[in-house]
Structure 1
Amino acid sequence: MSTAKILDRKAKIIEIVWDARAKPEDFDRVTKEVQTFSQELGGSFDVIVDMRTVKAFMPESQGKLVEHQKALKDFGMKRAAVIVSGAIAKMQLKRTAKEALHSTESHWESYEEALLFLKNNL
């Protein structure tokens, strides 16, 4: 199941873990959760996104990913560090980020490196 939580209140980092079988309703639910967390963090935050199990999102979910990325920007997201291992998922992310006009996304192969990037570049 896809999940979202506040990972680090002090550094204002929200963690999203996407399930390989994420459905459109999962994107809607996680987006609403992030909106709530954003308000708790004062409307400005970074996000670490764990997509290590995702090879590719289902076609019906790809449009929701664009909506999700736009919404997070509107909620105050500054940067996204995405852990992704699949080549197809990485290509999808690049395309959806372009569609969402989202240029603050970086891709990582290691969760630890992605988190260190967010914490060291406050």
Structure 2
Amino acid sequence: MQMSDTRQINASPAEVYAALLDPDMLIKCVPGATEVTGSPEDGFEATVVQKVGPVKATFKGQVTMTDMVPDQSIKISGEGKGGAAGFAKGEADVKLVAKDGGTELSYDVEAKVGGKLAQLG
């Protein structure tokens, strides 16, 4: 599955970049996230709860940040397992550009899911 989008954020590129590296901010941005710990240098560990139809799964996984260009771009890669419910893995290329007094954040994501959640859609 591939996704791309652009968002305008009312903050400077430096503020947006710092937020992408902050576990307290990441937990607010990832749907279903219940815990995010770690650091950009060592990677993050995350717990995410997802529900599709009758299947509810808790995924535990690792998130790493690479190709980091402060205030400009970052590559975010992650991989998680949800037991019998399946797995998810993917990566996002995130770019930040100063625009209209704020920041235009654009991303290209490639994700793969498998298991019961993938079967249900």
TM range (shorter): under 0.3
Task: Give the TM-score normalised by structure 1.
Answer: 0.26
Task: Give the TM-score normalised by structure 2.
Answer: 0.27
Q: Is the radius of gyration larger for structure 1 or structure 2?
A: 2
Name the structure, 1 or 2, with higher relative contact order (CA <8 Å, separation 6+): 2
